[in-house]
Amino acid sequence: MEFKFKTLLVLLLMQLLGSVRAIGKGSFTIGREGTWQLLSRNTGVVAMHMALTHHNTVIIFDQTEAGRSNYLLHRRRCLTSRSSNPKGLIHDSSCWAHSVEYDISHNSLQPLELETDTWCSSGAFLSNGTLLQTGGHGNGYRRIRHFKSCSDDRRRRRSSSCGWRLSRALLKDNRWFASNQILPNKDQTIVVGGKGAFTYEFVPKSKSSPKSFVLPFLHQTNEENGGGNNLYPFLHLSSDGNLFIFANRDSILFNYRRNRVMKTFPRMPGEGSRNYPSSGSSVLLPLDHSNRFSKLEVMVCGGAASGAYRAALEGHYIEALKSCGRMVITGHKHEWVMEEMPGPRVMSDMLILPTGHILVINGATHGCAGRHNATRPALEPYLYNPKKPLGRRFRVLPSSKIPRMYHSSAVLLPDGRILVAGGNPNEGYTSRNVAFPTELRLQAFIPHYMDHSFHHIRPRNVSVNYGNHSGDGAKYGEEFSVRFRLHGRTERDLKDLKFSVSAPPFTTHGFSMNQRMLRLWCKRVEEEKDGWVRAVVEAPPSPNVAPSGYYLLTVVNGDIPSVSEWVRFIHAE
């Protein structure tokens, strides 16, 4: 009798907390706040940088100067020419993979070769889905690279058509710890800052802008005793085409076309700093068609306390910042509205979920960024609801058991999971006799909205149709259709539907460059047979609002998102 009672109690608790389901090869229980899934015990390469491609793969890469990784490239010359000197093979970085492509659906890895060092580099996606990748260290300081996915087997057989390719063009200045932002002009990117680089420049170069340009704001925000505290500046494209730049605690609205500061915003309140090596994080909150995408609000969270960098070099770790600030950067009134996270946080990633909520994940609670500069990992993610009243916006989610500190990353996947990887405060790949060993395990955080108990209200089988033209994408301001299945729908369900698009970011060092979400206008919804629904949606009005390229489109019913489908926005020819 006692056994039956305990069994019944366990089953009841499972029902309350969630249920068991499987993705890929793993099984897990999704509670009311989400859960963690281990995908791989060895990625082979530290995820210093990560980015989701429109082929549903994730490019993961590290620095070539790390030396030996955990993935030997299958190159005969490495094995044969060094057979007489095994130590040479161990220390020759060219023999080891420092980049892999992760196939989401097959949970598999493909090693790739990197020719130049990408340590602390930056990136942005071009309109055709190619990753533009810039800068790094040493022989990568001024290099420009392009990455095309190798997910298609036919492409793999033609090695020249995919993987990493070096451009013949070079950056004008060294770009180590710089940031990128894709601009409204097709495939034009701005690269801002870097260690010792108080300038910006454009890629590709043009006759009117062949050089780099001095940006005094970067001189003004630099703290030499703090390791800079303005590296990896936060960049966000405003809907007027100007660029919001945040560094240290200050920010400006910058007209890069005229090399002119349009606005100087109030300093963010409080002490400490928010940029590398203080390494807070920033997002542009979701834009909405209801105000014609005219209201843009920036959020900055976490960072390091004053003096944290110098203290860490001496082995003392000061508690990180708890504070977050939000500020509307459009209009004429600008004021930081401050609030506190549930705990201190530095080196965290901030990701916009399909629901419009913000996930704060990874990082540490004491110290700052840099090798051996932090302690006490922040294992619990936070979920932030921007629309709730002040003081009630944060929720603490289930903790991970794996520290994700310096040189870790996180990206949102099309199925709604968050891919989490990396962590390495050591000079090379080190697994013993250190406080925080090199971390090569790959995880996914699975939000509560993916539980099978929501399947009856989850939009399914989403597809996009561009209409009668070539089918390459939707032009700005034009209609396109979204077809999906929604069982048991009611008239209220159809009214509650939302259509969002998210730009896939380039994530490194706590900042997801070019991350952007828009709520699009659904002009009408048409019911079809067998649970099918067809919605007519309007594309963003201009590249100022959404630079051309691939976006993840998600249909959200209430707070339950579909699996996302790729949509592309293109310039009119």
CATH number for the domain spanning 164: value is: 2.130.10.80
SS3 for 283?
strand
Other residues' Cβ atoms within 10 Å of the Cβ of residue 206: 9
Same-domain check for residues 296 and 441: yes
Residue 67: pLDDT band (50, 70, 90) is confident
- pLDDT number for residue 469: 66
Which structure tokens are listed for 18?
Answer: 């969630």
- At 397 the pLDDT is 97
Give mean pLDDT, residues 180-190: 96
Q: What is the DSSP string of 526-561?
A: EE-GGGEEEEEEEPPS-TTTS-SEEEEEEEEETTEE
In this predicted structure, the answer to whether residue 25 has a pLDDT above a threshold of 70 is no
Same domain, 512 and 380: no
Q: Report residue 205's pLDDT band, with 50, 70 and 90 as the boundaries.
A: confident
Q: Do 405 and 363 form a contact (C-beta atoms < 8 A)? A: yes
Whether 154 and 203 share a structural domain = yes
Are 105 and 526 in contact by the 8 Å Cβ rule? The answer is no
Alpha carbon distance 148, 151 (integer Å): 9
Query: What is the extent of the structural domain holding 493?
Result: 452-570
- The closest alpha carbon to 384, from 410, 413, 363, 355, belongs to 355
Query: Does 474 lie in the same domain as 437?
Result: no
Q: Are residues 507 and 421 in the same domain?
A: no
Looking at the structure, do residues 407 and 500 belong to the same domain, yes or no? no
Average pLDDT over residues 554-572: 95
84 pLDDT higher than 80: no
At 119, is the secondary structure helix, strand, or coil?
Answer: coil
Of the residues 403, 429, 450, the one at which a domain ends: 450
How far apart, in whole angstroms, are the C-alpha atoms of residue 569 and residue 551?
Answer: 8
What pLDDT does 85 receive? 56
- Hey, how many other C-beta atoms are within 10 angstroms of the C-beta on 204? 12
Q: In sequence order, what E strands does 127-198 have?
A: 131-134, 143-148, 163-170, 179-182, 189-192
Q: What pLDDT score does 392 carry? A: 96
pLDDT at 75: 59
Q: Is 86 domain-assigned? A: no
Q: What is the CATH classification number for the domain harbouring 522?
A: 2.60.40.10
Domains identified in the chain, total number: 2
What's the pLDDT tens digit per position in 333-363?
Answer: 999 999 999 999 999 999 999 999 999 999 9
Q: Which residue, of 417, 433, 450, is where some domain finishes?
A: 450
pLDDT score recorded for residue 297: 98
- Return the structure tokens found at 11: 């089953």
**Do 433 and 476 sit in the same domain of this protein?**
no
pLDDT value for 79: 64
pLDDT of residue 91: 56
Q: Which of 65-69, 265-269, 326-330 has the lowest mean pLDDT?
A: 65-69
One domain, residues 458 and 321: no
Domain final residue, candidates 406, 427, 450: 450
Amino acid at 490: T
User: Taking the CA of residue 419 as centre, how many other CA atoms within 13 Å lie in the half-sphere pointing to its CB?
Assistant: 28
Cβ–Cβ under 8 Å, residues 186 and 127: yes
Q: Is 160 in the same domain as 305? A: yes
What's the pLDDT score for residue 150? 86
pLDDT at res. 531: 87
pLDDT band at 490 (very low <50, low <70, confident <90, very high): low
> Is there a domain that residue 266 lies in?
yes
Evaluate whether residue 61 is within a structural domain: no
- Check residues 472 and 365 and name the one with the higher pLDDT: 365
Separation of CA 199 from chain center: 24
End-to-end distance of the chain based on CA atoms, in angstroms?
A: 75
- Determine, yes or no, domain membership for 7: no
Residue 80: inside a domain, yes or no?
A: no
What local confidence, expressed as pLDDT, does residue 94 receive? 74
Look at residue 423 and tell me if it is in a domain: yes
The confidence band for 77, taking pLDDT boundaries of 50, 70 and 90, is low
Which of 76, 239, 73, 286 is CA-nearest to residue 164? 73
> Is residue 1 domain-resident?
no
- 181 and 157 in one domain? yes
* Beta carbons of 409 and 49 less than 8 angstroms apart: yes
Amino acid at the residue 522: C
Res 503 pLDDT > 80: yes
Same domain flag for 210 and 278: yes
Q: Is position 96 within any domain? A: no
> pLDDT grade, residue 450 (50/70/90)?
very high
With 0-12 CB in 10 A as exposed, 13-18 as middle and 19+ as buried, what is 305?
Answer: buried
> Could you give the CA distance from residue 135 to residue 141 in angstroms, rounded to a whole number?
5
- 159-173, 396-410, 432-446: least confidently modelled range: 159-173
Tell me how far apart the alpha carbons of residues 115 and 268 are, in angstroms, rounded to a whole number: 40
- 14 pLDDT tier (thresholds 50, 70, 90): very low
Whether 31 and 147 share a structural domain:
yes
Residue 16: pLDDT band (50, 70, 90) is very low
